[in-house]
């Protein structure tokens, strides 16, 4: 038996180090459009997927992302094209930034237009179609970078078509394959024991692909938030909420996708959180201050706007701003790692474990 290369690394007395935050970065509208044009100029790939990963300068393989654990991919589909079927254990948020078309997910059709949001659950077979006369351009956000870092990103190309599943009559439970003791509490402090049969067969919660239409769902309700006065200290945001995520407040179990409106002349209060944030601005202009450095952006720009635990705030200039924000907040809530400091002069909280923060919406609106 040969000696392996496992090491013991002595950390006795070692002190914690400061975080080495990835710096904020902006990918401009012009850069995105140039890459979309380059992808459109290529011959159609065998699988139909014209795409480029948008990688942060600090990102290294495996797990190339725009933030650690968050991958953003630019995808282009020309008129009349469709991609081949695929499925994977990563989850996605798709956001159409140009054109329109439809997507088939597990046999269900979703017609989408510019600025629509669709979530893609794990291991769901899907393909995209451009049945229009204009190029279709999408930003896809996924946890593929995290899964590749963990070396567990599984992908199946061209899986068989999804067919209706016949209802199978439930067989009587076999007492030989199930523990007679079940799950039960031990001691008085709330600890429990769970048998193997329940470990490998947890309660199931259906995971559905969902569609949030910009014109029918999002813009109408966002514009109502614009009426909140300048005295309001919260952010004019709606989460594209997936009930599957329950108390982790997600669009997928890994990410939330929020749509925000910033009226002209609004300056957010500086704050910070463990979750990383990536913004796509699709109307207006403004600036972000991240760890003391000012970044100016405009409609069509994509930005890593909040490295995890980096102090930041945003401001709109002389016109309203609309933006999509992707954060890995639900993952951190599930891991009990989501530290959040809404006001730098006040204590932080562990969101999902401790009580979070209030805003002054009622007083700002006179309710």
pTM: 0.91
Listed residue (261, 292, 326, 339) closest to 91, CA to CA: 326
Could you read off the pLDDT of 274-329 as tens digits, one per residue? 999 999 999 999 999 999 999 999 999 999 999 999 999 999 999 999 999 999 99
Please answer whether residues 123 and 89 qualify as being in contact, where contact means their C-beta atoms are separated by less than 8 angstroms: yes
Strand-pair category, 302-306 with 25-27: antiparallel
Ranges under pLDDT 50 in the chain:
165, 360-361
Whole-number pLDDT of residue 30: 98
Contact 24/310 with Cβ under 8 angstroms?
yes
Q: How far apart are CA 131 and CA 101, in angstroms?
A: 6
DSSP secondary structure code for residue 213 in this structure: -
Calculate ∠ Cα 269-271-274, nearest 5°: 160
Instruction: Tell me what pLDDT residue 24 has.
Output: 98
Burial class of residue 7 (count of CB atoms within 10 Å of its CB; 0-12, 13-18, 19+) = exposed
253's torsion region: left (phi>0), alpha (psi -120 to 50) or beta? Answer: alpha
Per-residue confidence (pLDDT) for residue 109, from 0 to 100:
97
Q: Catalogue all structural domains in the chain, each as residue range(s) with its CATH number.
A: 25-157 (2.60.120.10), 211-342 (2.60.120.10)
The predicted structure's pLDDT at residue 353: 86
């Amino acid at each position: 038996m040969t000696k392996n290369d496992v090491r013991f690394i002595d950390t006795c007395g070692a002190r914690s180090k400061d975080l080495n935050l990835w710096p904020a970065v902006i990918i401009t509208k012009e850069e995105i459009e140039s890459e979309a044009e380059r992808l459109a100029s290529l011959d159609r790939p065998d699988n139909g997927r014209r795409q480029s990963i948008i990688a942060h300068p600090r990102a290294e393989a495996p797990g190339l992302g725009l933030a650690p654990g968050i991958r953003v991919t630019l995808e282009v589909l020309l008129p009349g094209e469709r991609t081949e079927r695929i499925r994977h254990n990563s989850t996605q948020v798709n956001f159409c930034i140009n054109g329109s078309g439809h997507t088939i997910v597990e046999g269900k059709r979703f017609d989408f237009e510019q600025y629509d949001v669709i979530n893609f659950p794990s291991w769901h077979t899907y393909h995209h179609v451009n049945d229009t006369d204009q190029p279709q351009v999408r930003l896809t956000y996924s946890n593929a970078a995290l899964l590749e870092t963990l070396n567990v990103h599984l992908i199946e190309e061209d899986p068989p078509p999804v067919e209706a599943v016949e209802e199978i009559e439930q067989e009587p439970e076999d007492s030989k394959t199930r523990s007679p003791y079940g799950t039960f509490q031990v001691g008085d402090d709330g600890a429990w024991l769970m048998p193997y049969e329940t470990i490998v067969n947890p309660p199931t919660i259906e995971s559905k692909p969902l569609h949030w239409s910009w014109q029918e769902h999002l813009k109408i309700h966002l514009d109502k938030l614009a009426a909140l006065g300048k005295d309001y200290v919260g952010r004019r945001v709606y989460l594209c909420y997936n009930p599957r995520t329950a108390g982790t407040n997600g669009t997928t179990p890994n990410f939330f996708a929020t749509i925000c409106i910033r009226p002209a002349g609004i300056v957010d209060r500086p704050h910070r959180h463990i979750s990383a944030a990536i913004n796509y601005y699709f109307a207006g202009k403004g600036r972000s201050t991240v760890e003391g450095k000012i970044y100016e952006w405009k409609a069509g720009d994509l930005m890593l706007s909040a490295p995890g635990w980096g102090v930041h705030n945003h401001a709109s200039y002389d016109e309203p701003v609309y933006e999509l924000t992707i954060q890995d907040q639900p993952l951190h809530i599930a891991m009990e790692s989501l530290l959040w400091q809404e006001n730098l002069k006040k204590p932080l909280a562990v969101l999902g474990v401790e009580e979070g923060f209030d805003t002054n919406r009622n007083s700002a609106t006179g309710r």
